Amino acid sequence: MFSKDQLERYSDVLLWGLKTARREPYAKGDLILLRFDLSAIPLAEVMQGKLLDSGYNPVLRPGGTPVMEHQFYEKANQTQLTFIPPGEVDLFRALNGNIFLHAPASLTHLSDIDPKKIGKAAVARKPLREILDGREAEGRFGWTLCTVPTEELARQARVSLEEYCDQVVRACYLDRPDPVKAWREIHREAQAIKDWLNGMEVEALHIESDHTDLIVKPGKMRKWIGISGHNIPSFELFLSPDWRGTTGIYYADQPSFRSGNYVEGVRLTFERGVAKTMEAEKGGEFLRKQLTMDKGASRVGEFSLTDKRFSRIDRFMANTLYDENFGGEFGNCHLAVGASYADTFAGDPDTLTKDLKRKLGFNDSALHWDLVNTERKRVSAVLASGRRTVIYEDGQFQY
């Protein structure tokens, strides 16, 4: 798979991502959780070395096998399903950073498990995520993640492992002598586009493609963010809108693997911010159970656009990290149902209480599921002045 040089470059990019993703600088002695699937051990070994060289304290946590994960959901009773190990809360309250190396050995091993059990376990762990969200808002926590190619990913994407690796190398700019330099340049160019978008007073966004006709209202005190180091690779610019202002039809032509299930051709019809109709060409039952796991699961948590000039991803990768950053001929937009991102709040993050989140229409859920549309599209902004302007067309921001 990866050469020694590519592993070194990948680790350098991840370290750049981790540092860029946190508002406050890291300090020696900071606690970094390094989570990794077993197929990612070669990269984890190099990453551990980089963290130690930086003076951090890495905490290593390998993932389980598909058999272990299936056994958990198959055999766990209600108490076991929601069990949080002793010390987990204390660890999360002390973490300064988190890196996840995603290298799945299976994408469909949970297809026979009741989605409600998966949802129940996710809801039980939601308070842990909220701890990290709070620490991130304070500038004391940052995170990043990446994908390591596996035979399963290549098989589900219907390409050879070599082709899959080549796409990862290109997408992450690991074919450059100094990939971190390339990421810094992308970061700089993206900032100019975000400044342009955030300089507009947008009342509503109108997304139009062959199968999508959707209105999304950003709401008050919102800002576009993205290309922030949180995901490697990441080329999307996004915001978390006021969920109450979403109406119309959204169609995801890109397939999706989630919690061991395959879903294709998702079509959602929104009324007053809630997905009233949930359909899929494949995986419809799983879709409906996921979008009803809690009250916020059927509401919008994120709207995103990817500029094809940044993204070198040009094929389906059977991996949300890549598929939500698809460049190709027409770029992509994606809509996430479920949890909002608090860091799209345009005010002082210290003032964003739960009550204010609710008042501003930030959605709350244990779910966050990105559903991707790669069709040729136009996105128009309806401004506070009443003027209508195209901000995105044919895969590019009209900046």
From residue 87, how far is each of 84, 131, 192, 332 by CA, in Å? 9, 14, 43, 41
pLDDT, one tens digit per residue, over 321-355 is 999 999 999 999 999 999 999 999 999 888 999 99
Q: Residue 249 has which token pair?
A: 């039809």
Provide the pLDDT for residue 137: 87
Confidence of residue 163 (pLDDT cuts 50, 70, 90): very high
pLDDT, one tens digit per residue, over 247-261 is 999 999 999 999 888
Confidence of residue 1 (pLDDT cuts 50, 70, 90): confident
Q: Give the C-alpha separation, 135 to 23, whole Å.
A: 11
- The pLDDT of residue 364 is above 90: yes
Q: pTM for this one?
A: 0.88
Higher pLDDT, 95 or 1: 95
pLDDT, one tens digit per residue, over 278-301 is 999 999 999 999 999 999 999 999
Element (H, E) at 6: helix 4-20
- The pLDDT of residue 42 is above 90: yes
Q: Give the C-alpha separation, 273 to 337, whole Å.
A: 11
In the predicted model, what is the mean pLDDT of the chain? 96
- The pLDDT of residue 45 is above 90: yes
Provide the pLDDT for residue 80: 97
Domains of the chain with CATH codes: 4-181 (3.40.1830.10), 189-397 (no CATH)
Provide the pLDDT for residue 8: 97
- How would you classify the pairing of strands 368-373 and 332-338? antiparallel
What value does the mean pLDDT take over residues 6-28?
97
pLDDT, one tens digit per residue, over 66-113 is 999 999 999 999 999 999 999 999 999 999 999 999 999 999 999 999
Residue 286 one-letter amino acid: F
Provide the pLDDT for residue 350: 82
Q: Give the C-alpha separation, 300 to 335, whole Å.
A: 7
Three-state secondary structure string covering 39-73: HHHHHHHHHHHHHHHCCCEEEEEECCCHHHHHHHH
From residue 343, how far is each of 70, 171, 238, 296, 352 by CA, in Å? 34, 25, 11, 18, 10
Confidence of residue 20 (pLDDT cuts 50, 70, 90): very high
The candidate with the shortest Cα–Cα distance to 222, out of 387, 350, 342, is: 342
